[in-house]
Structure 1
Amino acid sequence: MMILRNCALILAAVALVYTKPVQNVDLAAVNTFLTNLAATDVRTDSMVTLSYQNMASKKNPDHDNAKDPLFTSVDASVYGSATYIVIADLLPFFQFDCDQPIPTSNNGYLDAVDSFLTNYINSDAVKAAWTFLQAQGVSTNDATAFRTQLKNLWFTPYARNSVLGSNGFKSVFVGEASGTVMNRFANWFGFYIQENSKTFDYHGWFTKLNVSALFQFDCCLAFTDIEK
């Protein structure tokens, strides 16, 4: 699935940058690997229907120029797959506010982390990434050690301010906010879940670019109940 392939891209990039001197990295090999991985991506575009509606108001972003949700429909085969289920199971343990600690001692959270890692490691995308990282000399061929490497990469908490309220998973799949200002949000599935729960209210788009039959856009949204 597309999410796991994105995870593999991040894994490859971060592991190479932070565990090996940049001057020793074979950038051509990195580019080839990422290009090949993207080419084999199993896309979900045809299974998701979006309603972009009107351009958002730049003068008054609080004005809702999109009366309907951004997501018209998402096929059940997408959010019902194991990949998306393990992500959805982790989301309730996080809050947008980076000054709220991650519940690292909560048994439910730890079980959800383990389920995510198991699904992640067993995907073809991450298997390919692991093989590539071994060839680059930045990952071990020991499965237990590799799982620990991934867990540290995604789930070791760090502080944006003074509280250990962020980690890699949260930054990518959940999003981060200060007050009512969203600082980081990089995942369509998280957006879909938040819109369904009425936490996000899509107000329209600012710019749209048609890239390879996909739309990339900056959008305007309002969100409530941020502490939940």
Structure 2
Amino acid sequence: MAIFLGILLTIFLFNTNIFAAQLIPQFGITDEEIRMLVLRLRNEDINKAKHNQIVVNYQGHTTARDTKDNAKAPLFSTVDSSLLRKPTYEKYIALMDNYHFEVGKIEQSDNEERREIVDFIDAIFETRPWKILIEFLQKKKHPYAKDVPNFKRWIKQLWFDDYSRAKGVPDTSGFEHVFVGESKNGEIAGLHSWLRFYQLERNHTAELDYQGFIIKRFDILAMIRFIWKGAMKRTGGFFIGTSPEFEMALYTFCFLSRRGFKTCDFEIDGCPFSVTSYDMSQHNKVFVGTVYPSPGQLNEQCRNANRKQG
């Protein structure tokens, strides 16, 4: 009996230690370090949209349960075309036609599509946000970032390798879910990219119907409702005007430091935001399951900062 109780105690302590370890910030990254690093990423995102390069037309307010179309015009009134000609934007846009709309259909990449992924990863790794991110993770001795080639391999697995969301077939990836969007059971899943949303509004007007905003943070972040190819996104959010390299760096950083059990909290242009992320584990590999942003409480610093910009 004593032996049995001892075994139970050992199992309990072992499981408790695992649970406690999961509560520790991953790789000792503190909340303050997150705030400071995101501030650096934002400040050195030289490819982000400048003031007045993007004009947003929010129109009517809506809710996730609303059934009316409270926005007759597109969300984006104007986007400066020079943004789209930046190398990382061009390589990001080249990836948009590589994926099936519905989950449950096997994703099959040809050599050109695989080359486009490598080109995009190579391009973002040359930017300041990614150099800053790698330097920080190396100081933290994160095993993914021991050197650049190793980190590129991990980024490809986390974001671009296929796994299954339905029917047990390789039908999705972290990048497809977060940056492209997909349909599952008549609902839109993912699609947390302003650039993707703008491309759909511009090139596929008959397929995409913006129906109003739920929460807006000036021209920094939008929480919206829309219909795409007949499938509804009741609540979707994305930053506005951020570069592809900034978004990939931010979401990767939050995924590595706060996924699953805690949000990644920071400020952009005086406004508080958080990023939530979850992983997906299949076949002894870990992938990005989802990553998405949310607005924090609107404060005076946020109002004043954006009043000055206006």
Same fold (TM over 0.5): yes
Moved more, 22-31 or 136-145: 22-31
**Is the radius of gyration larger for structure 1 or structure 2?**
2
Q: CA deviation at 1:34?
A: 2.5
What secondary structure sits across from 2:97 in the alignment?
A: helix
Q: CA deviation at 1:24?
A: 4.5
Q: Any stretches of 5+ residues in structure 2 without a counterpart?
A: 1-23, 232-310
Which letter does structure 1 place at the counterpart of 2:215?
A: K
Query: 1:173-194: per-residue Cα shift (whole Å, max 9, x none)?
Result: 1013214311222110111111
- Which residue in the other structure is 2:29 paired with? 26
After TM superposition, the score normalised by the length of structure 1 is: 0.77
Q: Any stretches of 5+ residues in structure 1 without a counterpart?
A: 1-20
Conserved? CA contact 1:47–1:75, under 8 Å: yes
- Which residue in the other structure is 2:131 paired with? 127
Is 1:185 aligned to residue 191 of structure 2? yes
- Which residue in the other structure is 1:113 paired with? 117
- Which residue in the other structure is 1:36 paired with? 40
Is 1:46 aligned to residue 52 of structure 2? yes
Identity, % of aligned pairs?
Answer: 24
Q: CA deviation at 1:166?
A: 1.6
What secondary structure sits across from 1:159 in the alignment?
A: coil
More strand by share: 2
CA 40–59 in structure 1, closer or farther in 2 if over 3 Å, else same = closer
- Which residue in the other structure is 2:99 paired with? 94
Conserved? CA contact 1:66–1:203, under 8 Å: yes
Conserved? CA contact 2:27–2:140, under 8 Å: no
Is 1:76 aligned to residue 84 of structure 2? no
Q: CA deviation at 1:144?
A: 2.2
| Partner Cα distance (1:116, 1:191) in 2 | 19
Which letter does structure 2 place at the counterpart of 1:168?
A: G
Q: CA deviation at 1:48?
A: 0.8
Conserved? CA contact 2:208–2:226, under 8 Å: yes
What secondary structure sits across from 1:66 in the alignment?
A: coil
Which letter does structure 1 place at the counterpart of 2:60?
A: N
| Partner Cα distance (1:168, 1:155) in 2 | 6
Q: CA deviation at 1:89?
A: 0.5
- Which residue in the other structure is 2:177 paired with? 171
Is 1:208 aligned to residue 246 of structure 2? no
| Partner Cα distance (1:109, 1:37) in 2 | 28
After TM superposition, the score normalised by the length of structure 2 is: 0.58
Higher RCO (C-alpha 8 Å, min separation 6): 1
Query: 1:147-175: per-residue Cα shift (whole Å, max 9, x none)?
Result: 21221121121111222122121122101
Q: CA RMSD in A?
A: 2.4
| Partner Cα distance (1:141, 1:172) in 2 | 26
Q: Which runs of 4+ in 1 moved over 6 A?
A: none
- Which of residues 136, 141, 144 in structure 2 aligns to 1:137? 141
Query: 1:198-226: per-residue Cα shift (whole Å, max 9, x none)?
Result: 22111222x3343xx43533322122277
- Which residue in the other structure is 1:221 paired with? 226
Number of residue pairs matched by the alignment = 201
Is 1:150 aligned to residue 155 of structure 2? yes
